[in-house]
Amino acid sequence: MSRPTHHAGIELDTGLLDAAYAMLDGQGDGRISKADARKLLAMLSDGDVATNAEKATFAYILEHFNWTAAARKLVKESEALQLSTFDPAKIVSEKETPPTDDQGQGTSEETFVPRPAIEPPMCHLFFEALKVCSSDIGDAIKIDVSITGTAIGENYVSMHQPECTIEGSNAGLTATVLAVFEAELGELHIDAKLCTPNMGCKEGSIKKLFFKAS
């Protein structure tokens, strides 16, 4: 199953994220312990100062994983992370900073900087459990997905990145959401699948009108 690639618009550190998932995979009581937290902190590329990608990854796993109180305290008080002053809305991941050539033209793919939605998010509830919300943030559409009230991931679509997939699980339910943006029509198509171990899978789709590209 694929995992989230961004948190609040900042690219995640896949090594840290994979390590966090591995710590919960069939081990212990399903929480990240203080010893686990020390191992994750030891993975920082520079032990004294964390990169933006590393900070975003710790912010994500603090929000979406279960931690012991001691482990959570250790991470929140880490001088290398300084999460208390971490503001994703003002930061672009170092991995996504576009290099420039001699003419100053960017050579990397588009980067989305999180910003407030222009309009309130439009949400749709599939099968009374899977909630998909889409927000117009100006140069992109942000997609947020949750299962039974618990966020499982977020991603973005735009004229330059017309589709994205978000997958995750919660409370024994597994979801896959595909979002496709047709810029010329100003339409967002969402295909959703929700699976349970005993009841199998259900699929649904919805189309939303946003705006026509100028």
Asked if residue 190 has pLDDT above 90, the reply is yes
Query: Would 109 be classed as within a structural domain?
Result: no
What's the rounded mean pLDDT across residues 109-117?
46
pLDDT 10s digits, 125-156: 998 899 999 888 777 888 999 998 899 988 88
Same domain, 84 and 159: no
Same domain, 128 and 193: yes
Q: Is residue 60 left, alpha or beta, with left meaning phi > 0 and alpha meaning psi from -120 to 50?
A: alpha
The count of domains in the chain is: 2
In whole angstroms, give the CA distance from residue 123 to residue 135: 9
What's the rounded mean pLDDT across residues 184-198?
89
Is residue 109 classed as helix, strand or coil in its secondary structure?
A: coil
Asked if residue 1 has pLDDT above 50, the reply is no
Same domain, 30 and 90: yes
Cβ atoms 156, 140 nearer than 8 A = yes
Query: With bands split at pLDDT 50, 70 and 90, how would you rate the model's confidence at 210?
Result: low
Same domain, 182 and 128: yes
Domain with 148 in it: 122-209
pLDDT 10s digits, 35-69: 999 999 999 887 778 888 899 899 888 888 889 99
